[in-house]
């Protein structure tokens, strides 16, 4: 093995086969050491926060994924969430109810350079329909793109069963396909899970179908050199549909290869949200 010195702790962890453990520890340490001042003025630890995150395009302000990870999937050790929605406004975000049992330790408006320090070059996916893209996005041309980073801290009256001591939320008014490339491709990581819940297909304003393997979002996720997410949340908010809540995902037209139905997402009472798991690769 050709080793060049000095080597980083991350490189040592990779060689020792404990990279996941190392990155999880690093992320937790970074969050626990933050103060309101360092959140507002310090270096933004973008790559550390993308590791083991949950990526949620067309998210609106749905807190169900955060609740499900914090309470029901503690073994995932997810401490970072990336929400993306080009219909969002900063005012909407500021008026949204915060997660129960948490306070905002600090927040900050980020620049594009802080998110992608070395820049990035978008890759146009196959089956990209420019006319449809322009038509859908033009309806939201009055939205000002923004990126807001928020760190939440658990209130002292709530215990560990309520969720982690701290977690991060990165919220962007941006396109879900392009943002995935800009963040995960550029920084060489993949999220632990992706959430595709009420993604706005059809009359909802989305220019593509996140559920479909032949559409640009799947192509973007599957062509990330760092790999694919381990899980995908899929479903709808049942109160917005004509059907009643279901215990099976038969009506969800999710056709990504190598993902199989795992279980209902129990963090979504009265909703039709299901969890799919990536099949292990034999070799």
178-195 pLDDT, tens digit per residue, is 999 999 999 999 999 999
Q: With respect to residue 71, please indicate whether it lies within any of the assigned structural domains.
A: yes
Same domain assignment for residues 47 and 11: no
Same domain assignment for residues 29 and 45: no
d(CA 268, CA 127): 33
Same domain assignment for residues 25 and 75: no
At 245 the pLDDT is 46
Q: How far is CA 21 from CA 9, 24, 52, 268, in A?
A: 12, 5, 11, 29
Same domain assignment for residues 108 and 170: yes
Same domain assignment for residues 55 and 116: yes
Same domain assignment for residues 92 and 179: yes
Q: With respect to residue 151, please indicate whether it lies within any of the assigned structural domains.
A: yes
Q: With respect to residue 260, please indicate whether it lies within any of the assigned structural domains.
A: yes
Domain count along the chain: 2
Same domain assignment for residues 15 and 61: no
- DSSP string computed for 101-134: TEEEEEEEEPPHHHHSTT-----PPTT--HHHHH
Q: With respect to residue 240, please indicate whether it lies within any of the assigned structural domains.
A: yes
Same domain assignment for residues 20 and 41: no
d(CA 82, CA 67): 14
Same domain assignment for residues 42 and 29: no
- pTM of the full structure: 0.87
Q: With respect to residue 283, please indicate whether it lies within any of the assigned structural domains.
A: no
Same domain assignment for residues 170 and 270: yes
Residue ranges in the chain whose pLDDT is less than 70: 1-19, 129-130, 132-143, 201-205, 237-251, 266-271, 281-283
φ, ψ (nearest 5 deg) of residue 39: -65, -40
What's the domain range around 265?
37-278
At 281 the pLDDT is 57
At 44 the pLDDT is 97
Q: With respect to residue 158, please indicate whether it lies within any of the assigned structural domains.
A: yes
Q: With respect to residue 23, please indicate whether it lies within any of the assigned structural domains.
A: yes
Same domain assignment for residues 222 and 264: yes
Same domain assignment for residues 18 and 95: no
């Amino acid at each position: 093995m050709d080793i060049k010195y000095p080597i980083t702790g991350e490189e040592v962890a990779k060689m020792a086969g404990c990279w996941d453990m190392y990155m999880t520890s690093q992320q937790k340490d970074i969050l626990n050491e933050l103060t309101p001042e360092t959140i507002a003025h310090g270096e933004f630890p973008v790559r550390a926060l993308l590791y083991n995150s949950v990526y949620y395009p067309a998210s609106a302000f749905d807190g169900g994924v955060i609740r499900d990870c914090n309470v029901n999937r503690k073994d995932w050790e997810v401490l970072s969430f990336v929400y993306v929605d080009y219909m969002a406004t900063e005012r909407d975000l500021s008026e949204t109810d915060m997660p129960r049992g948490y306070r905002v330790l600090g927040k900050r408006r980020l620049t594009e350079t802080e998110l992608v320090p070395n820049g990035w070059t978008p890759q146009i996916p196959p089956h990209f329909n420019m006319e449809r893209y322009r038509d859908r996005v033009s309806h939201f041309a009055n939205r000002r793109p923004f990126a807001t980073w928020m760190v939440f801290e658990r209130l002292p009256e709530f215990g560990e069963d309520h969720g982690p001591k701290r977690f991060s939320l990165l919220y962007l008014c941006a396109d879900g396909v392009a943002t995935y490339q800009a963040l995960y491709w550029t920084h060489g990581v993949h999220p632990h899970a992706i959430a595709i819940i009420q993604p706005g297909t059809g009359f909802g304003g989305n220019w593509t179908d996140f559920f479909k393997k032949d559409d640009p979002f799947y192509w973007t996720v599957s062509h990330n050199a760092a790999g694919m997410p381990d899980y995908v949340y899929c479903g709808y908010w049942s109160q917005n549909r004509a059907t009643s809540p279901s215990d099976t995902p038969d009506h969800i037209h999710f056709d990504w290869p190598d993902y199989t139905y795992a279980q209902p997402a129990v963090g979504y009472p009265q909703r039709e949200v299901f969890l799919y798991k990536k099949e292990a690769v034999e070799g």
